[in-house]
Homo-oligomer: A and B are copies of this chain.
Amino acid sequence: MTSVNYDVLTPIRFLERSASVYPDNIAVVHGSIRRTYSEFHARVHRLAAALAEAGIKKGDKVAFISPNTPAMLEAHFAVPMIGAALVAVNIRLSPKEVGYIINHSESQIVFVDNEFADRIESVKEDLPHVRRIVNICDVSYDMPLPGTDYEAFLETGAGREAPFLVEDELEVATINYTSGTTGSPKGVMYHHRGAYLNAMGELIEFGLTQDSNYLWTLPMFHCNGWCFPWAVIAAGATHVCLRKVEPETIYTMIHTEQITHLCAAPTVLIGLSEYAVNNNIKLDHHLEIMTAGAPPAPQVILNMEQVGANITQTYGLTEVFGPHSICKWRDEWQALPPEQKAKIKARQGVPYIHSVHMDVVDPNSMTPVPRDGQTIGEIVMRGNNVMLGYYKDPRATSEAFAGGWFHSGDLAVMHPDGYIQIMDRKKDIIISGGENISTVELENTIYQHPAVMEVAVVSAPDPKWGEVPKAYITPRPGAEATAEDIIAFCKQNLARFKAPKQVVFGELPKTATGKIQKYKLREQEWGGEQRRTG
Interface, chain A (partner B; CB < 8 A): 2-7, 9, 13-14, 16-17, 20-21, 23, 170, 191, 194, 200, 203-204, 207, 209-211, 234, 328, 331, 350-351, 353, 356-357, 382-384, 386-389, 401, 404-406, 417-418
Contact = CB atoms under 8 A, between A and B. Distances in A.
A7 B200 CA distance: 16
B5 A382 contact: yes
Nearest to A189: B5
Contacts of A331: 211
Contacts of A21: 328, 350-351, 418
Contact of A6 (B170, B207, B417): B170
A384 B5 contact: yes
A331 to B, nearest CB: 8
Contacts of A356: 7, 13, 16-17
Given A4-B382, A6-B384, A14-B353, 11 more contacts: A2-B383, A4-B386, A4-B404, A5-B406, A17-B350, A17-B353, A20-B351, A21-B418, A23-B418, A200-B200, A204-B204
A389 B389 CA distance: 36
Contacts of A207: 209
Given A21-B328, A203-B204, A4 B401 contact: yes
Total copies of this chain within the assembly:
2
A192 to B, nearest CB: 12
A357 B7 contact: yes
A403 to B, nearest CB: 9
Contacts of A401: 4
A6 B382 CA distance: 8
Given A17-B351, A20-B350, A328-B21, A382 B204 contact: no
Nearest to A2: B382
Contacts of A3: 382, 404
A4 B406 contact: yes
A48 B456 CA distance: 50
Contacts of A20: 350-351, 418
Nearest to A211: B331
Contacts of A211: 331
B353 A5 contact: no
A437 B24 CA distance: 33
A13 B170 CA distance: 20
Nearest to A397: B4
Contacts of A353: 14, 17, 200, 234
Contacts of A191: 5
Contacts of A357: 2, 7
Contacts of A5: 191, 194, 382-384, 386-389, 406
A406 B3 CA distance: 10
Given A17-B353, A350-B20, A382 B7 contact: yes
Nearest to A349: B21
Nearest to A201: B200
7 contacts: A3-B404, A4-B406, A5-B383, A5-B386, A5-B387, A21-B328, A200-B204
Contacts of A389: 5
A512 B495 CA distance: 68
A401 to B, nearest CB: 5
Closest 6 pairs between A and B when the two form their complex, measured CB to CB: A5-B386, A7-B383, A21-B350, A4-B401, A17-B356, A4-B382
Nearest to A208: B204
A419 to B, nearest CB: 9
Contacts of A404: 3-4
Contacts of A17: 350-351, 353, 356
A191 B209 CA distance: 28
Contacts of A328: 21, 210
Contacts of A203: 204
A194 B350 CA distance: 25
A278 B209 CA distance: 36
A351 B14 CA distance: 11
A432 to B, nearest CB: 35
A264 B382 CA distance: 39
A387 B5 CA distance: 6
A14 B356 CA distance: 8
Contacts of A384: 5-7, 9
A105 to B, nearest CB: 20
A359 to B, nearest CB: 10
Contacts of A405: 4
Contacts of A13: 356
A406 B6 CA distance: 12
Nearest to A19: B418
- The residue among A210, A384, A401 with the most chain B CB atoms within 10 A of its own CB is A384
Nearest to A8: B384
A377 to B, nearest CB: 17
Contacts of A383: 2, 5-7
